[in-house]
Chain A
Amino acid sequence: MGSCLQNREFPPNIPPENGSALIPIYSQYYFTLAFEDSNTHDYVDEKLFIPLIAGSVPVFSGTKNVRDFTPSENSIVDIRDFESPKALAHYLEGAIQDRHQYEEHLGWKRAPLPPRFLSLVKGRLYLGRFGDACSECCFILWALLNVLSLTLTSATLF
């Protein structure tokens, strides 16, 4: 065991662009630990979203407003809700044994995404003003429009 408590080697030759490699691995697990390396307001990264894609319920440690970034309240398990690792383990074991309870964590996959979450995900910009179609190009153009007072038609943006 190394400093990361390692006991399974990750295949070393996975090309970076093939990040989908993690998804089939996670998908075999009921839960995936999504422990951010910082506890900062609004900070959630791929450690949260990859398990969500894989259908492995993220067990999250990090910012307490994490649920601003999740498709539903119970799509994740926040370790803040448990007083100890033991209590958390007890909950996870219970959910693994109780199919109904576990499925509730994945229920969001069978329903339309809530509008707010959708606007987060689409365009990956938290900017309702752009609408869903906003691209990266739109992002830069919007910046230019606002700070450079360039003449751009609104059709450029939408």
Chain B
Amino acid sequence: MISSSFRDIFRSFSLSDALLPVVGVATEFKASNDIMVPETPHTWFEKQKLERDGIGIIREHYRLSLISNPLRIELVDPVHGRNTTRGSIAVTFRISGSGSDSLGSECRVRLVVNGQRIGAGMPCEPLEQSNKLQGIPLGPVKVQVQLYNGDSPFSGEFTTARSLSTRLQPQERVESGAWPLRCSVTPHADSPQPSQFNRKSPLVLIIWKQSIPWWHFKPQMCLDCTNPIYVVEDLECIEEADLIVWGCWNGVPGPSAAMPKPQHQKWIYFCLESTMEGHLGQLLGHESFLEDFDLISSFQLNSSFPRLYTPPDPNLLFTPPREKKRKVAWVASHCGRHNGNILRDAYVSELMKYIEVNPISLFHKLMLLMIF
């Protein structure tokens, strides 16, 4: 049974609504200010292409609001062409407000692109999720948003105002091995000067450095090595890299669909995010995706290079305990999200009936990630 408020969600959702307003059309690679498109290896890669080829990328943003109360879903949709036959589309959902009261806990938001259902859907709870779809045939792209409550879908849809179009030709690759490099590079901020390296120095490109703070990587340290490595964050002649470290990737297929992988080059997939459905590390469980990479570095102890969230200095753990004044603290993000075991909000609400718990709020997850 669909409740009346569930129907209300789509009352204001029609094709014409969906097409308006277009909040910005940019010819260069920048998200408009009022829309946050998180940087990912995809966007990094696109930026490289743009800067190298000088070809504009069609980028349209749609802000799609279904209803403001109680549940609001915004669809942020940059569309651009990439190669001769197919393109890609990035869709960012931002769900705010809460629909679980009126819609029930079974409520799911689902994205459908050209009839292809993406993922298992998200709960009707505050959430932001980016979906990147590649290999979409050129032409108008039909994007649908579906709300499910049990088996019954209610859906709204829109078609992008512009078609995906042919823009970029596949990059020709030259393995010159020339040194110094024949292209411009941006060394890692902490890297020694390029003059300190020679062709024998392994050249490592780190893509999406935002995901790398957990490394505490200090290229300076590598100067002491018998064979120091040269670490860069930007590399115009990407094919010259010996090793590319890719941050979390949020779409299938993987980077090999976006750029050719030179034979001599090796790729590491570095992603410390959870593998659960809907999480950024979801593709760690996707075998065909992992085939793109030579090495995997994740939180999983059986990956090639397990990487943990433990403190950099073990002595920190021996910080002496202090005298206690309060009973139970809780700092959480994504509170409405089920963790596969419990619904944390509900569990804590119940717990609070029996013991004093002090939730400490408004601490963005990103800040937690930066702690060590």
Interface: B279 (CB within 8 A): yes
Query: Which residues of A lie under 8 Å from residue B371 when comparing CB positions?
Result: 19-20, 22, 46, 50
- Nearest residue, chain B, Cβ from A103: B321
- Given contacts A50-B371, A71-B317, A126-B306, is CB(A30)–CB(B242) below 8 Å? no
Chain B interface size band reads 35 or more
Q: Is A8 an interface residue (CB 8 A)?
A: yes
Binary flags per residue of B313-348, CB closer than 8 Å to A gives 1, else 0: 010111111101111111111111101111011011
B202/A144 in contact, CB under 8 A: yes
CA gap between A136 and B321 in the complex, in Å: 30
Q: Mark B352-372, 1 if CB is under 8 A from A, else 0.
A: 111101111111001111111
**Does A100 touch B at the CB level, under 8 Å?**
no
Tell me if B36 counts as interface (CB < 8 A to partner A). Answer: no
| Distance A62 CA – B362 CA, assembled complex (angstroms) | 22
**Contact stretch, chosen from B37-45, B158-166, B222-230, B249-257:** B222-230
**Contact between chains at B340 and A38 (CB < 8 Å):** yes
B259 within 8 A of A: no
- Name the distance in Å between B197's Cβ and chain A's nearest Cβ: 14
Select the residue from A2, A140, A147 with max chain B CB neighbours within 10 A: A140
The chain B residue sitting closest to A16, CB to CB, is B370
Contacts of B125 in A (CB 8 A): 3
Cα separation A135 to B218 with both chains bound (whole Å): 9
* In contact, A40 and B359 (Cβ under 8 angstroms): no
In the bound complex, do residue A148 and residue B242 qualify as a contact, i.e. CB atoms below 8 Å apart?
yes
A-B pairs under 8 A by CB, number = 295
Which of B332, B352, B366 counts the most A-chain CB atoms under 10 A from its CB? B332
A79 to B343, CA, bound (A): 13
B303: shortest Cβ distance to chain A, in Å? 9
Contacts of B294 in A (CB 8 A): 147
Residues of B within 8 Å of A69, CB to CB, are 308, 310
A104 within 8 A of B: no
Known interface pairs A3-B345, A39-B341, A121-B317; A9-B362 also in contact (CB < 8 Å): yes
Chain B 187-206: CB-based contact to A (< 8 A → 1; otherwise 0): 00000000000000010100
Instruction: Tell me, in angstroms, the Cα distance from A143 to B204 when the chains sit together.
Output: 11
B174 within 8 A of A: no
Known: A39-B339, A43-B299. A5 touches B322 (CB 8 A): no
B21 at the interface (CB under 8 A from A): no
Chain A residues numbered 99-158 whose CB sits less than 8 Å from any CB in chain B: 106, 109, 113, 118, 120-122, 124-127, 135-137, 139-141, 143-144, 146-148, 150-153, 155-156
CB B297 to nearest CB in A, in angstroms, measures 8
Q: Does B232 contact A (CB under 8 A)?
A: no
Inside 8 A of B328's CB, which chain A residues have their CB?
A: 29-33, 59, 92
Q: What 3 pairs between A and B have smallest CB-CB spacing?
A: A19-B371, A55-B321, A39-B340
Task: Supply 22 A–B pairs (Cβ within 8 Å), ascending by A.
Answer: A10-B362, A19-B372, A25-B360, A30-B326, A30-B328, A31-B327, A35-B347, A37-B339, A50-B368, A51-B329, A61-B347, A85-B354, A90-B354, A109-B320, A113-B317, A125-B308, A136-B218, A140-B245, A144-B204, A156-B225, A156-B226, A156-B227
Report which A residues bind B (CB closer than 8 A): 2-10, 12, 14, 16-17, 19-20, 22-33, 35-56, 59, 61-62, 68-69, 71, 79-80, 84-86, 88-90, 92-93, 96, 106, 109, 113, 118, 120-122, 124-127, 135-137, 139-141, 143-144, 146-148, 150-153, 155-156
Seed contacts A38-B275, A46-B369, A113-B317; 19 additional CB < 8 Å A-B pairs: A3-B345, A4-B345, A22-B368, A27-B321, A28-B322, A29-B358, A31-B329, A37-B333, A37-B337, A39-B276, A118-B314, A120-B308, A124-B308, A126-B301, A127-B305, A136-B216, A137-B221, A144-B243, A150-B227
